[in-house]
Amino acid sequence: MPKCPIFKAASLLGKKWSIVLLDEIEKNGEQGFNLIFKNLKHISPKILSKRLKDLEDSNLIQKSVYTNVTPMKTSYYLTEKGLELSQIIKLFKEWQLKYNELPCGKIKCSECPFYYTK
């Protein structure tokens, strides 16, 4: 079953934080690790680092390191593959809003107090 494309996608995207992290990188990735960590409440730095590495290894995101500034800056960007997946994630959000009321009553995920700081 490991060769099955559905199984492969589920093994990556089914990990806690993967989909939310892709969404956050689309919005704020250029701001780097620290802002992503600040915005995603309840994630540990270790898990954030691991998920970033997993997404990078899967060619969904690209990491840029700027050593010519002090302190050194890191940025994350969605690759073409990641941008395509981002459109699918957007469809998931629209589907959820259409058929299920959000438990928090918010319209936008960016207003969610669980995943984002205010």
pLDDT in tens, 26-72: 988 788 898 899 888 889 999 999 999 999 999 999 999 998 988 88
* pLDDT at residue number 2: 64
Contact 32, 78 (CB under 8 A): no
Residue 102 confidence (pLDDT): 60
Predicted TM-score of the model (pTM) = 0.79
Given a cut of 50, whether residue 92 has pLDDT beyond it is yes
Q: Are 12 and 6 in contact (CB under 8 A)?
A: no
Q: 47 versus 5: which is more confidently predicted?
A: 47
Q: Are 76 and 62 in contact (CB under 8 A)?
A: yes
The mean pLDDT of the chain is 84
CB neighbourhood size of 17 (10 A): 20
Q: What is the pLDDT of residue 87?
A: 93
List Cα–Cα distances, 86 to 18, 42, 76, 104, in angstroms. 12, 22, 14, 23
Name the packing angle between helices 18-28 and 5-13 (round to 10°). 70
Which CATH code is given to the segment(s) 16-111?
Answer: 1.10.10.10
